[in-house]
Amino acid sequence: MSAKQTGTKNRSPMQYSDWPIEQLPGLSQEEQSQLQNCGIKTTVGLVKQGKTLQDKVALAKKLQVNLQYVNKWVALADLARIPSVGTQYCGLLLHSGVASVAQLAQTPTHRLHKQILRLQVATMQRRDLCPAIEQVQQWSQQARIVLSDEC
């Protein structure tokens, strides 16, 4: 992983990742500061404060931003909990159509790999930047473990 984990929660042999909010992709300095002023310092903190639609609406009002932004940030933070995804690949997954750990766990690996490959070719014309299917499979396996730990 390119970034350092700030903390983990130990519920099973696999630990999920909690990243500083500054490492979440797509956040401006101002948005990072706004989240921190609301007591949200990590990605897991953001996921916890954005559990329900009602929570997200309240957070959007508090931050004075469109609900769409809060939905995106919570989705990125949720995906970043998967250790092999982290903040490095959460944006790639979201842009490939995966918006949650639950969806990642349920999406067939071969289909997700094709979606990511299509995205990479369409946006960058770079087939070689697509993660290997084994890596995508690891993301799905770890997503299932994280979900089972939450039950």
Tell me the pLDDT of the chain averaged across its residues.
89
Assigned token pair, 147: 């979900």
Q: What is the pLDDT of residue 14?
A: 62
Distances (CA, A) of 74 to 23, 46, 77, 91, 116: 13, 6, 5, 12, 21
> Confidence band (pLDDT; 50, 70, 90) for 6?
very low
Q: How many residues does the structure list for the chain?
A: 151
Tens of pLDDT along 32-84? 999 999 999 999 999 999 999 999 999 999 999 999 999 999 999 999 999 99
Tell me the C-alpha distance between 37 and 11, whole Å. Answer: 29
What does the pLDDT average to over 123-131?
79
Residues 85/78, Cβ–Cβ less than 8 Å: no
State yes or no: pLDDT of 13 exceeds 60: no
Distance CA 81, CA 58 (A): 23
| Confidence at residue 3, expressed as pLDDT on a 0 to 100 scale | 38
pTM of this structure: 0.86
